[in-house]
Chain A
Amino acid sequence: MKLKIKAQAGSFESSDVLIMVEPLADGSGRRVELESIVMQQFGDDLLAQINKDLDVFEISDVRIIVNDKGALPPTISARLETALKRSAGIQSGTLN
C-alpha cells in the first residue's frame, strides 16, 4: 500500500483508539508513537499488533500516532486499516 497524505481514524471515546498516519520518505522506517491508558498491561501487545498489521499492508515507512483508550484488538486493527486506506486514498463508500 502506498501512503500519500496524512490521515486519521477513530476517536477519543472509551474503548476506541485514535490513529493518525503520516507517510514518510522511503527508508525512514516505522515510527510508532504510542500512548495508551493500558500501556503498562498491553503496551507491548499493541506495538506488536500494529507492526503485524503494517506487515500485512506492506508498509515500511510511516509515522503512526496512536492514542488508545483501551480499545480491543479488532478496534485497533480496524482503525489502523481505515487510517491507512484514507492515507492511501483507496477508501471507498464514504463521504469526506
Chain B
Amino acid sequence: MKNILQRDIPQELEGIGVLEPFEGAFTKLKKGWMEEATVPPPNKAKLPHSNKVCDNLREAIIKTQPKNGMTVSFHHHLRAGDSILVESIKILADLGIKDITLASSSLTSAHVGILPYLKDGTITQIYSSGIRGELGKALAEGVLPKPFVIHSHGGRVRAVHTGRINIDLTVLAASASDIEGNATGSHGPSAFGSMGYAAIDSWYAKQVIVVSDNIVDYPCVPQSVSQNYIDYVVKVDSIGDPSKIAGGTTRITKAPMDLQIARLAAQVIEHSGELKDGFSFQVGAGGASLAVAKYIRKTMKRREIKGSFILGGITSYGVDMLNEGLFRSIFDVQSFDAAVSSSLINNPFHIEIPAGLYANPFNCGCMTNKLDVVVLGALEIDTDFNVNVITGSEGYVRGASGGHSDTASGANLTVAVCPSFRGRIPIVKENVHTIVTPGESIDVLVTERGICVNPKRPDLKENLVKSGIIVKDIKDLAKEVEQITGKAKPIENEDRIVGVVEYRDGTIIDVIRQVKQ
C-alpha cells in the first residue's frame, strides 16, 4: 500500500508486525487520544534497607536475569564518549544471550563496537533515533535479520507506552548517583547535562541499572532519575571518554557556506513575523542550524526583543543567551556540550525535561507544540519540502531523526537550512531517498542559492517579499541545482526492506531498502 506521501509501505513486516501507513502529521492526533492500548509500567518491591549496590556491571546484569530475545535500552547523553552501551552488550554476549533488541535513544560514533554483535546474532533488531558510520552502513547492507526502526525522540516515548519497545533491561549511565540510584548528569567529573531521554526507560524497564563513576552521599541532588524506579546501582571506574563526554563548549562553525546560510535564515526569521517579544526558539546542533543562533542573538539585541524559552538540545550558546537575558528560560532535554551542566544545576530557569514533555505527541501537550521558531538541517529536501535526515547519498544510514519531525510539526515557523548541493551531490531535488519529516511541516527552506517558501504559507511568503527578501520556487531551485551538478542517478536498492522510519505518531512514513552492493 502507499502512504499519503506515495511511499510503498507493506501491510506487515516480519519482526515488526502490522504497519500503519502515514496519513498526515495530525491525522491521528485530531482524535484527541491514542487508540493503541498502553502497557502498564512494572510494579516492583524492595524491603527497607536492602542493598542495590553491585560490585560491577556484569554482576548487576546477571542479577537482572537476562534472557534470549530480550530488549535492552540505553540513553545517548554521553554522546560520542559513551562506553557503557558497548560494555553492556559485550557482557550480554559473553553470557551467551542471543536475539537482543537494542533500543537506544540514539547511536553515536562511540557505539561502533557493537558491530560484531550485529553479525553474530547477539543483536537482531535495533530501535534508535539515529544511526551513523560503520553501523549505518552495515544496517543498510542488511546485516540484521529483523528490520531496524528509526523513531523520533517524541515517538520513542510513545513506542514505550504502547509496548512497541518493551524494555526488559535498561542500563543508565549517570555522572553522579547515590546508592539508591537517585542520579543525575548535571555534576561530577563526567558531567554531561540533562538526562531527558533516560526518564522513560527508568519508568518502564522491567530492570533498571544505574551506572556511575561517581557515587555520592545519599541523597544525590538533583535527581534526574529517582530511586523508586532503580533496581541496581553500579560504581565503575569510567563511564567513557571524559574528553568526549565533558568536552568543552560547542563552537559556532567558521565554514563560510554554513555562516552564509545561517545569515540568510536569520533574515528570514526576522521578517517572518514570528520574531517578537515572548517568542520561543530551538536550533539543531548542526553547523548552519546552530549558527543561526549567532545571528538571531544579534538581531534580538538590535531590536531589543526578549524571548520566552529555548527548547530541546542545548548548547553553551543557548546558555549565553539565557544569561544575557535574551530568553527567560531553557527547557533542556539533551545537553550538547558539558559547559551546559553548570547552568543546568545552578540556574533555576534552566530546566531539565523528560522526552515525553519535550515531544511525545500523545499527551496533553508536549513543549514542541509551543515552539514559535525551529531551525533544522537536512541531508536532502524534495520539491514538496519532504526532508531526509537519515540516509546519505549512497543509501547508507548516516543521520538522526532525533527531534526533527517532532519540532517541525509543532513550531509555527519551521526553517530548514542546508546547502543546495554538497560536492556534486544535489541536496534540493525532485525526490529524496528517505522521508523523515513530511513537507507539510516545513514552512521555508533556506539555501545559499535561494529561499523557498512552502506554498501552504502564502502569508509567510508575503511577509518575506515585503521586506525585500527574494523568494524562489523550490522547483526552480531544484532545476537550477540540477543544471549545476547534472542529474544524479538514483540509488539502486534491493527489494528487501531493512528498516522502517516511524513517524512520531507510530505510523510508517517510509521504509529503507537494502543497498545494492
Contact = CB atoms under 8 A, between A and B. Distances in A.
- Complex contact flag A–B (Cβ < 8 Å): yes
A41 B425 contact: yes
Interface residues of B, number: 13
Given A45-B486, A72-B485, A37 B492 contact: no
A68 to B, nearest CB: 8
A62 B422 CA distance: 32
A59 B492 CA distance: 34
Nearest to B486: A45
Contacts of A45: 486
Interface in A1-52: 14-15, 37-38, 40-45
Contacts of A72: 424, 484-485
Q: SS class of chain B's interface: helix, strand, loop or mixed?
A: loop
A71 interface: yes
Interface in A48-96: 69-73
Contacts of A14: 423
Contact of B492 (A15, A38, A40, A69): A40
B491 A38 contact: no
B423 A37 contact: yes
A38 B486 CA distance: 12
A41 B423 contact: no
Contact of B425 (A38, A43, A71, A73): A38
A86 to B, nearest CB: 24
Contacts of B393: 38, 40-41
Contact of B423 (A40, A69, A73): A69
Contacts of A73: 486
B489 interface: yes
Contacts of A15: 423-424
B489 to A, nearest CB: 5
B393, B489, B492 — which one has the most chain A CB atoms within 10 A of its CB? B489
Nearest to B492: A40
B424 A40 contact: no
Nearest to B488: A41
A14 B257 CA distance: 14
Nearest to B426: A41
A44 B487 CA distance: 11
Contact of A70 (B424, B484, B491, B492): B424
Contacts of A41: 393, 424-425, 488-489
B8 interface: no
A9 B424 CA distance: 19
Contacts of B425: 38, 41, 70
A41 B422 CA distance: 13
B484 A40 contact: no
Nearest to B487: A45
Contacts of B424: 15, 38, 41-42, 70-72
A62 to B, nearest CB: 24
B394 A40 contact: yes
A70 B488 contact: no
A40 B423 CA distance: 14
Interface string B482-502: 001110110110000000000
A43 B487 CA distance: 11
A41 B487 CA distance: 8
A73 B421 CA distance: 14
A89 B485 CA distance: 32
B449 to A, nearest CB: 14
Contacts of A43: 489
A6 B260 CA distance: 41
A71 B485 CA distance: 9
Contacts of B394: 40
Closest 10 CB pairs of A and B: A70-B423, A41-B488, A70-B424, A38-B424, A41-B489, A45-B486, A15-B423, A40-B394, A72-B424, A42-B424
Interface of B: 393-394, 422-425, 484-486, 488-489, 491-492
Interface of A: 14-15, 37-38, 40-45, 69-73
28 contacts: A14-B423, A15-B423, A15-B424, A37-B423, A38-B423, A38-B425, A38-B488, A40-B394, A40-B489, A40-B492, A41-B393, A41-B424, A41-B425, A41-B488, A41-B489, A42-B424, A42-B486, A42-B488, A42-B489, A44-B489, A69-B423, A70-B422, A70-B423, A70-B424, A70-B425, A71-B424, A72-B484, A72-B485
Given A14-B423, A38-B423, A72-B424, 13 more contacts: A15-B423, A37-B423, A38-B393, A40-B394, A41-B393, A41-B424, A41-B489, A42-B424, A42-B486, A42-B489, A44-B489, A69-B423, A72-B485
